[in-house]
């Protein structure tokens, strides 16, 4: 059987990882400034995470949600503590799309309504309603299409207010990323999130914060939406939650009433997933990783802004996007990988995305900048046709 060929992949076979580094099968070392799409939150194979998972494997790996799983309660308790949402409750599932599906479904059960407000540039996943809410027609199959999605311009308060004035009683939920990831690292303005809160309160709609990519401390606060000083009704979480072990969840405000069977999953909240997620929160607390994301992120952002070759820098904490001026736009990301052995990500409009582990050190950030400097220097030399200075491109 062959693999179903849907991914654009780098021809690199990673066989080993530790902290902010990965190695390929030839032993070549790479600095990981991307964390496998923002998944690596506390560093590859963190000792505590690894030991916790190994210890759990000596006990039990999985049983379904038909028995007591004390680890789920422990995770919920700890998540409430670290996120500051102690009075919320937790439903566990397996992926970001599944978290958003469950959030939207719960909002619809709660309100009895169907219409979902979502925004230009949004990415919420690839399943049924999550993909319908995503702003990318290329990944919406005919079966996913629904007339219940209302797409508004991102950060446009007037359009939002007018939409609620027109459709208020029909609006089930507003779903929004605090910082758009796939869309190119664009922040939702605090006043915009506050308006969503106010309008949802006025019209009995549910405010869903998609924190799948921007959450779990990455922005320098636990949920990036926290910067606006208002609570969402539901927070969806995934990527950084398990540091690579698949686990996701939704944190649900106290006004929602659980009914037996209204949500459910076979794998969600299994023993291994819970210990992985608990270990991540332990490390986030013990190593002050949210603070590190805030300060180191600011350091990287400030430094990027100092380059004349950099056109724009966006983001917060260790969720950073930047665009280069011509002639660097198209080449930089691939050269960072092929010449400097640094993984980065991309987003719309040739944006380079940096989503490293929250445990990235200043030295590792400086290693990135040393490579960045030499790359820019060599590209300039190449453009000016100075072959002797091009040694970096010759191997």
Ligand X SMILES: Cc1ncc(COP(=O)(O)O)c(C=O)c1O
What is the contact surface with ligand X in residues (CB under 6 A)? 37, 95-97, 100, 123-125, 177, 181-182, 210, 212-213, 238
- DSSP-assigned letter for residue 325: P
Cis peptide before 124 (omega within 30 of 0): no
- One DSSP character per residue, 141-172 reads -GGG--TTEEEE-TT-HHHHHHHHHHHGGGEE
Shortest gap between Cβ of 363 and ligand X (angstroms)?
29
Radius of gyration (Cα) for the chain, nearest Å? Answer: 22
Minimum separation from the CB atom of position 282 to ligand X (A): 22
Closest-approach residue to ligand X (CB): 96
Closer CB to ligand X, residue 340 or residue 354? 354
**Cβ closest to ligand X, residue 234 vs residue 340:** 234
Measured from the CB of residue 229, what is the shortest distance to ligand X in angstroms?
A: 21
Of 328, 288, 294, the C-alpha closest to 308 is 328
Shortest Cβ 273–ligand X spacing (Å): 13
Of how many residues is the chain composed? 395
Nearer to ligand X, 225 or 333 (CB): 225
Nearest distance in Å: CB 390, ligand X? 37
279 token code pair? 């270990």
Cβ proximity to ligand X: between 135 and 364 the closer is 135
**Phi, psi for residue 381 in degrees, rounded to 5:** -60, -40
CB nearer to ligand X: give 102 or 378. Answer: 102
Per DSSP, helices labelled H in the chain are 35-38, 47-57, 70-83, 96-111, 128-133, 157-167, 190-203, 271-286, 289-305, 332-338, 362-383
User: Least distance in Å: CB of 5 to ligand X?
Assistant: 18
- Which CA distances in Å does 202 have to 187, 195, 234? 24, 10, 17
In the complex with ligand X, the residue whose CB is nearer, 94 or 378, is 94
According to DSSP, the residues that pair with 22 across neighbouring strands are 17, 30
């Amino acid at each position: 059987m062959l693999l179903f060929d849907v991914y654009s992949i780098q021809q690199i076979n990673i066989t080993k990882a530790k902290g902010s580094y990965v190695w390929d099968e030839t032993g070549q070392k790479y600095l990981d400034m991307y964390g496998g799409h923002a998944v690596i939150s506390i560093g590859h194979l963190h000792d505590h995470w690894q030991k916790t998972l190994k210890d759990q494997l000596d006990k039990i790996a999985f049983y379904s949600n038909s028995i007591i799983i004390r680890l789920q309660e422990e995770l919920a308790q700890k998540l409430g503590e670290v996120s500051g949402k102690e009075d919320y409750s937790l439903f566990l599932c397996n992926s970001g799309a599944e978290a958003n599906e469950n959030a939207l479904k719960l909002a619809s059960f709660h309100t009895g309504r169907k219409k979902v407000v979502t925004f230009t540039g949004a990415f919420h996943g690839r399943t049924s309603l999550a993909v319908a809410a995503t702003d990318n027609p290329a990944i919406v199959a005919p079966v996913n299409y629904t007339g219940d999605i209302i797409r508004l311009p991102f950060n446009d308060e007037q359009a939002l207010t007018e939409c609620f004035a027109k459709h208020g009683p029909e609006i089930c939920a507003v779903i929004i990323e605090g910082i758009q990831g796939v869309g190119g690292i664009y922040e939702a303005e605090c006043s915009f999130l506050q308006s969503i809160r106010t309008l949802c309160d006025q019209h009995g709609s549910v405010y869903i914060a998609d924190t799948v990519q921007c959450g779990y401390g990455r922005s320098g606060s636990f949920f990036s939406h926290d910067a606006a000083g208002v609570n969402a009704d539901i927070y969806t979480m995934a990527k950084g939650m398990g540091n690579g072990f698949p686990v996701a969840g939704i944190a649900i405000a106290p006004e929602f009433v659980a009914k037996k069977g209204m949500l459910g999953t076979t794998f969600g909240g299994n023993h291994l997933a819970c210990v992985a997620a608990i270990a991540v929160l332990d490390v986030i607390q013990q190593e002050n990783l949210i603070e590190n994301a805030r300060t180191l992120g600011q350091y990287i952002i400030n430094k990027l802004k100092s380059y004349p070759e950099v056109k724009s820098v966006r983001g917060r904490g260790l969720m950073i996007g930047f665009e280069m001026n011509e002639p660097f736009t198209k080449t930089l990301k691939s050269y960072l990988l092929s010449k400097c052995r640094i993984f980065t990500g991309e987003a719309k409009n040739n944006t380079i995305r940096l989503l490293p582990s929250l445990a990235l050190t200043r030295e590792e950030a400086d290693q990135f900048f040393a490579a960045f400097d030499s790359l820019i220097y060599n590209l300039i030399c190449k453009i000016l046709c100075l072959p002797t200075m091009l040694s970096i491109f010759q191997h």
